[in-house]
Amino acid sequence: MKLHHAFAAALLATTSAVSAQELKVGVQNMAPWLDPGRDFSNVGSQFYINTFEPLVGKDHTSAASVWQPGLATEWKIVSPTVMELKLRPGVTFQNGDPLTAEDVAFSLERIIKAAFPPYTVRKRDTLPNLAAIEIVDPQTIRVIATKPEPLFETLMNTQQTMIVSKRYITGLAGKPGVLADADYEAFALKPMGSGPYRVSQFIPNQKLVWERFDGYWGPKAPFARVTVTRIPELSGRITALKNGEVDLITNVPPDQLSVLEGDKAVKVEGMVTPLFHVVIFNTQNPKMADARLRRALSLAIDRKTLNEALWQGKAVVPTSHSYPQFGALYMPELNTFEYNPAEAKRLLKEAGYDGFPIRFDTAAAYYTNGLLAAQAIQEMWAAVGVKSDIKVDDKWTGGDADMMARNWSNPMYFPDPTGSFGIMWAPTGNSATEGRFKPTAEYTAVWERFRYSTDLAARKLAYSELMTMIRNDPPVLPLYQPYESFAMRANIAWKPLPGHIPYVLDFRAGRIAQVAR
């Protein structure tokens, strides 16, 4: 049996090595710049895995977090606030420079000691607890936290902590050797890392070309060249795939799958994405101050019907702000969110809702089915007697004091509730920063207990308390985890993996193959 597997693997390896020269990909959006440290968008996150690497690696085929050696070969938690990592020897960047402890310290400190505003945001939402990086010797570094840190491995595996080159970045703009904000901006246009593909051409908002990095320390990239082109229109992407102009396309909504079925030359792979489309409420708008009103608005939304109508039932409606990727901290049993129109009506009456219209903001096309969902929600609110006005604008209104409700997404940035709920709803998270959510002293205390306990049971208990508070005084309702489909030529063996953050296009060795037919 084992021999059989090995044979199959060897066969796959040979066929891909022989035939795989160029892969052509059509994406809906291309990033305007590429810097893993400051990027938080769903567009950029598609690309980093092929060019950059974090210190701690991960088995991306598994939803649960299985850590593996990355740019660090081993590590230990020296004390609750100190992690020590041994760097992999002999790693070089794509420009030939060796990857050193200095680079590691530089990469992490550009965020945790940030002066450039885009990094400051990441410091606050992703790495607020990290204080400093210590170089012990040329192969050993220490990450120092302020409070006890239960998530060292998780944090050293994020996209934001991928390692970049100090010498390369400081030499890009202005005086060589002197670091300036302009260096970071130049880097974002000429990204360079230590991963298996080097960026050979990057035209912002249009095109990205990777070439195999022959000096890569690990298994060599399966393709000599990968070209990623922006094809903004869905019909354009589907036509380009059917016409053989591209091998793989992204962002195929569920209602288009039937167009591709029945064509033997193409196939579809999909996955429920670790990301929630959500409705948020501005708790600080005086008109929205009454928690009963927000609870009623939440209870009035029939998410199961939304899923069936908009996603053909392929999306997943969550019971709480929780993903299977959280492992032991996955807690669907919390039942934080439910559909109960009768209770909604009762609460509205109790709150004395007088029929004023709720402003619901949505971008025109940013979230798949976002506008349709907003229109359906408007009807669902009308069914319990709530009036609403939909305001369509691509502008982000999360910090607008007059905003009352809007759609948003809560992606999983790393596999812990901190990396999804926390990024958005922690006392230092985006929502509190932008002023639409004001955590109480009690909430903050429970959050601290959840975030920095090193005891799993204590963390689970604290998270359930947080969810109860969110239920009783809701700032957010997760609608569903969307189902994302990718279509490809039939000879491409690729699929999205559950161990990645949303939308990642992983083209590294063992993750994609072109099968000779």
Positions that interact with other proteins (CB under 8 A):
26, 32-33, 38, 40-41, 117-118, 120-121, 124-125, 181, 185, 188-189, 203-207, 229-233, 235-240, 242-246, 394-399, 408, 429-431, 433-434
CA angle 413, 408, 28 (to 5 degrees): 75
Q: Which is nearer to other proteins, 240 or 271 (CB)?
A: 240
Token pair recorded at residue 104: 């590691």
- Classified as helix, coil or strand, 6 is helix
Residues 153, 167: Cα–Cα separation, whole Å: 26
Q: Which is nearer to other proteins, 195 or 370 (CB)?
A: 370
Q: Which is nearer to other proteins, 239 or 444 (CB)?
A: 239
Q: Which is nearer to other proteins, 245 or 465 (CB)?
A: 245
Which residue intervals of 384-486 are DSSP H helices? 421-425, 430-433, 441-452, 456-472
Residue type, 45: S
Q: Shortest Cβ distance from residue 119 to other proteins (Å)? A: 10
Cβ 295 vs Cβ 281: under 8 Å: no
Q: Which is nearer to other proteins, 336 or 409 (CB)?
A: 409
Q: Which is nearer to other proteins, 195 or 502 (CB)?
A: 502
Residue type, 372: L
Q: Shortest Cβ distance from residue 204 to other proteins (Å)? A: 4
Q: Which is nearer to other proteins, 176 or 399 (CB)?
A: 399
Residues 247, 23: Cα–Cα separation, whole Å: 6
Residues 208, 144: Cα–Cα separation, whole Å: 36
Q: What is the DSSP letter of 387?
A: -
Residues 501, 198: Cα–Cα separation, whole Å: 21
Q: Shortest Cβ distance from residue 397 to other proteins (Å)? A: 8
Q: Which is nearer to other proteins, 206 or 454 (CB)?
A: 206
Q: Shortest Cβ distance from residue 257 to other proteins (Å)? A: 16
Q: Shortest Cβ distance from residue 144 to other proteins (Å)? A: 25
Q: Determine if residue 96 is left, alpha or beta; phi over 0 gives left, psi from -120 to 50 gives alpha, anything else beta.
A: left
Residues 237, 27: Cα–Cα separation, whole Å: 8
Q: Which is nearer to other proteins, 13 or 186 (CB)?
A: 186
CA angle 319, 416, 292 (to 5 degrees): 40
Q: Shortest Cβ distance from residue 429 to other proteins (Å)? A: 7
Closest residue by Cα to residue 428 from 81, 128, 108? 128
Q: Shortest Cβ distance from residue 264 to other proteins (Å)? A: 14
Token pair recorded at residue 198: 């080097």
Q: Shortest Cβ distance from residue 480 to other proteins (Å)? A: 20
Residue in the structure block whose two tokens are 């291309």: 30
Q: Which is nearer to other proteins, 60 or 122 (CB)?
A: 122
Q: Shortest Cβ distance from residue 188 to other proteins (Å)? A: 7
* Cα torsion angle, 334, 313, 270, 249, sign: negative
Residue 134 backbone phi and psi in degrees, to 5: -115, 130
What lies within 8 Å, CB to CB, of 459 at 6+ separation is 150, 329, 450, 453
Q: Shortest Cβ distance from residue 364 to other proteins (Å)? A: 9
b/e sequence 61-81, b meaning 16+ C-beta within 10 Å: eebebeeeebbbeebebeeeb
